[in-house]
Amino acid sequence: MGLEIFFIGLNQIGASIGVALADQQLEMRRVGYDSDGQQARRVRQAGAVDHLVSHPRKASEVADVVVLSTPTVEVRDYLEMLGAKLKPNAVVLDTSPLKVPSAAWAEELVPEDRHYIGITPIVGPAALLTEVPDHQVPSADLFHGGLMAIVIPPKTPEFAVTVALRFAAILGATPFFIDPVEHDAVIATVEELPSLISATLMNMAAEAKNWRELQRMAGSLFVNATQFHPPQTPKIWGTTLYLNREIVLTRIDALSEELQRLRALIAAEDSKALIDYLTKATTTRDAWLTIRQHGDWAGQEFQLVKTVEKSGFLSSLFGIKPRRPKERK
C-alpha cells in the first residue's frame, strides 16, 4: 500500500508542495481538499494532487502525512474535527502563518500518538524577485534554494521531525529550527507589518482632499506599495492579526518611532542626516538581498539543520517501498 499524503487547503504553498512531490520515486497518493472547489480543480489540473475529496474527514483517517495549508484562523476547526480521527503516528505539517496559537491548539486537540509540526517554507531566490507573482499558481521550484523554518513541540519523536526535514529536502529548502514565539515575531515584522503599511497608505490616500488627482497620477510604485501579500479577505487578515496582536502592536509602536525619527530628519534644515538615513536603508537592503539571493547564512546566528537526503524520501519511515522507475523500451 502506498503512502497517503493529504493536503487540506490548496493555496500556493500546499499546491507547490504537492507538485514537488510528483517527481518522487515512491508509491503514494496525493489527496487534496479545499473549501474553494474551483481552486481545488485548478490545482488538480496543475498536477499538485491525484484525487480530490469533498470533505476532509475520511481522507484524514488514512493519511500518513497531513499538510495543512490554511489561514491560521481555520487551524483550530480542522484540528478539532480531525485530530482524534488521524491514525496513530500520522504527522501533521502545518504551514499556516502563526505557530503559537496553532501549536497550542494541537497540544489540546491532537492525541499524543499523532504528531504536529509547524513548518514555514520560504521562497527561493528565483521566486523572491518575481515582478508580478501569481499567488494562485503552484510551482515545484517555488522554495528551491530557500529555507524552511520548523517549529517542533516538546516530546515530538525523532521520526516525525525527520518527516519535516525530508519534506524540506524535497522542496530544495534548507531547514532550521525556531521557537514559536520568535517565529510569530518575525512574521509580524516581515509579513503582517508590510500589509498594514499598505492598508494605511491606501486609506490615507483615499481620505486625502486631492484623492481624485491621486487616482489619476498614481503609478506602479503606488500599486505595489498598496498591494497586500498574500491576497486574502479582510476578515481572515484581521482575525489573523488579532491572534498575533501583542507582537503586532509592538511592531507598530516601533514603526511609529521610526517615522517620527524620519520626520525629524526631514524637518531639519540640514539634508545630510536625511541622506545618511536613506543611504543606510539602501545599503542594508542591498546587503540583505545579496545574502538572501546566494543563501550565504554562514555568518547568521540561527540553527541551520544538516540537510537530509531526499533519496528514499519517506519510504523508510512508513515502511513503504520506493516506486520502481519505468523500464525504457
Sequence-distant (≥ 6) Cβ neighbours of residue 293 within 8 angstroms: 125, 128
Note the pLDDT of residue 26. Answer: 76
* Beta carbons within 8 Å of 69's beta carbon, 6+ residues apart: 7, 8, 9, 10, 11, 13, 14, 15, 17, 95, 96
Query: Would you say 293 and 127 are in contact if contact means Cβ atoms under 8 Å apart?
Result: no
How large is the greatest C-alpha to C-alpha distance in the chain, in angstroms? 79
The residue-averaged pLDDT of 52-75 equals 95
The radius of gyration computed from the CA coordinates of the chain, to the nearest angstrom, equals 22
pLDDT band at 229 (very low <50, low <70, confident <90, very high): confident
How far apart (Å, rounded) are the C-alpha atoms in residues 20 and 323? 16
- Return the CATH fold of 183-267: 6-phosphogluconate dehydrogenase C-terminal fold (1.10.3660)
Please state the rounded mean pLDDT for residues 120-126: 94
Distance of alpha carbon 224 from alpha carbon 93, whole angstroms: 32
pLDDT at 184 over 50: yes
pLDDT at 316: 55
**Pairwise CA distance, residues 75 & 66, whole Å:** 12
Apex 136 CA angle, 132 and 141, nearest 5:
75
pLDDT of residue 277: 97
Q: Where in the chain is the domain with CATH 1.10.3660.10?
A: 183-267
pLDDT value for 310: 52
pLDDT digit string (tens) for 269-309?
A: 889 999 999 999 999 999 999 999 988 775 565 555 655 55
Cell numbers that stand for 244 in this block: 498575533
The strands making up 51-52's β-sheet, listed across from edge to edge, are 51-52, 28-33, 3-8, 65-68, 91-94, 115-122, 147-151, 174-177
Alpha-carbon gap, residue 186 to 184, rounded angstroms: 5
Q: Where in the chain is the domain with CATH 3.40.50.720?
A: 3-178+303-318
Does residue 325 have a cis peptide bond before it, meaning omega lies within 30 degrees of 0?
no
Are residues 115 and 141 in contact, defined by beta-carbon separation less than 8 angstroms?
no
Q: Residue 326's pLDDT is what?
A: 47
- Tell me: pLDDT of 107 over 80: yes
Q: Among 178-192, 194-208, 245-259, 295-309, name the one with the lowest average pLDDT.
A: 295-309
From 182, 195, 131, select the one nearest 152 (Cα to Cα).
182
- Please check whether residue 145 is in contact with residue 117, taking contact to mean a CB–CB distance below 8 angstroms: no
- State the pairing for strand pair 147-151/115-122: antiparallel
pLDDT attached to residue 123: 94
Q: List the single range of 25-29, 94-98, 241-245 with lowest mean pLDDT.
A: 25-29
Pick one of 3.40.50.720, 3.30.160.60, 3.90.600.10, 1.10.3720.10 as the CATH number of 3-178+303-318: 3.40.50.720
4-16 mean pLDDT: 96
Cβ-Cβ contacts under 8 Å for 104 (sequence gap 6 or more): none
